[in-house]
Amino acid sequence: MRMIDEYLNSLESFLPDDLKQEVRDELEASIYAQLEDECGALGRELNQQEQEILLRKIGHPMRVAAAYLPNQELVGNEYFPAYKKALQIALSIALVVNLLAVLPELFTGGHVLQSVFGLLGNLIQVGLWIFAAVTLIFHLLQKYGIGLDEIYAWSPNSLKAHKPGRSLSRLETFFEALVETLFLAWWLNLVSWQGSSVGSDTVGVDVSMSPEWAAVFWSVNMIVGASIALNVYKLIIAGWDRFSLTANLVINAATLVVLIQISRFENHVLIRGSGDIAAQWTQAMTIADNVILSILAGVALYVIWESYCNLRELRKAASRAPA
């Protein structure tokens, strides 16, 4: 029958060469078996409209062919939780990096709205590339059967050693260390920044970091360096223990001290203008200081919350310790 032959020919076009004949023979036998049953029930041959109804019940050739093909999901159920976490972390890193990159431009250019819209546009573009790259990586992991056991390696024995009970994945710890490394590179570049000039020879603006930042230069380096080292330690053990929780509390306490010290700076950014626009840039300097203080407050709240969680886990560990 011509309609059934055309259906089977269409089905073959969606299959690889090594499956075409096998699947066609199997489906052809099934279709003609159903056709015979229908003819026996009606006591006559099926007309063209009835044949069309039968083929519609079987389904579109492309959809039927998909049931015989492997890897019909870009990321399957087994890989999806890790894929979702990796995507969240990668997008978070992109957000942090772009925010750090736009701050000097914000301070030197003074065009707040332009910088914000530029940041949003760049985030959308980078986010699409990250989504495509992470999806491709996990699709290839799934396609070639590469497991995630090494990334999420753990041992029941290690759970006994880590009585505080705060476990974490090596993937998450790695990206945390990466963010801190990027921050340290940005910090070293920012503090060494000598400033820039905006405007003409007669009317210009000089923008630079306040010399007060030099007072916390080495403190920030040591705190971030210690945090990176701690993350390397957590990366090795794939979890938290009493040592890492205590060390993190010490790092957080030092971080709060430095944040308080920075908040007491008279100025964080120096913007010196000449001509008629000098007053406007003085106001911009005040806005820049307020933005930095807001960021410091957010970081301080996060550090306090993390310290509270660490203390709670240490107390749990102490309560479970044998008398």
* Contact call for residues 8 and 24 (beta carbons, < 8 A): yes
Q: Are residues 24 and 166 located together in one domain of the fold?
A: no
* Contact call for residues 95 and 123 (beta carbons, < 8 A): yes
C-alpha pair distances (Å), 165 with each of 82, 161, 170, 295, 318: 21, 9, 15, 31, 12
Q: Are residues 116 and 157 located together in one domain of the fold?
A: no
Q: Are residues 197 and 238 located together in one domain of the fold?
A: yes
* Contact call for residues 130 and 94 (beta carbons, < 8 A): yes
What confidence tens digit (pLDDT) does each residue in 164-185 have?
Answer: 445 556 667 777 787 788 788 7
What confidence tens digit (pLDDT) does each residue in 268-293 have?
Answer: 777 665 555 555 666 767 777 888 88
Q: Are residues 39 and 87 located together in one domain of the fold?
A: no
The CA distance from 140 to 162, in Å, is 34
Domain range spanning residue 24? 2-66
C-alpha pair distances (Å), 275 with each of 108, 121, 200, 279: 17, 34, 11, 9
The CA distance from 81 to 83, in Å, is 5
Q: Are residues 144 and 173 located together in one domain of the fold?
A: no
Domain end marker among 148, 173, 188:
148
Q: Are residues 132 and 159 located together in one domain of the fold?
A: no
Q: Are residues 14 and 135 located together in one domain of the fold?
A: no
Locate 242 and state its tokens.
């009493």
Q: Are residues 177 and 269 located together in one domain of the fold?
A: yes
pLDDT grade for 151, boundaries at 50, 70 and 90: low
State the residue for tokens 């495509």: 132
Q: Are residues 61 and 77 located together in one domain of the fold?
A: no
Q: Are residues 199 and 130 located together in one domain of the fold?
A: no
Q: Are residues 99 and 161 located together in one domain of the fold?
A: no
Domain end marker among 148, 177, 210:
148
Residues paired with residue 167 on neighbouring β-strands, in sequence order: 239
Is the pLDDT higher at 112 or at 137?
A: 137
Give the number of domains in the chain.
3
Q: Are residues 55 and 102 located together in one domain of the fold?
A: no
DSSP 8-class letter at 45:
-
What 3-state class would DSSP assign to 67? coil
Whether pTM > 0.75 for this model: the answer is: no
The CA distance from 16 to 38, in Å, is 32
Q: What is the pLDDT, as a whole number, of residue 255?
A: 93
Strands 196-199 and 204-209: antiparallel
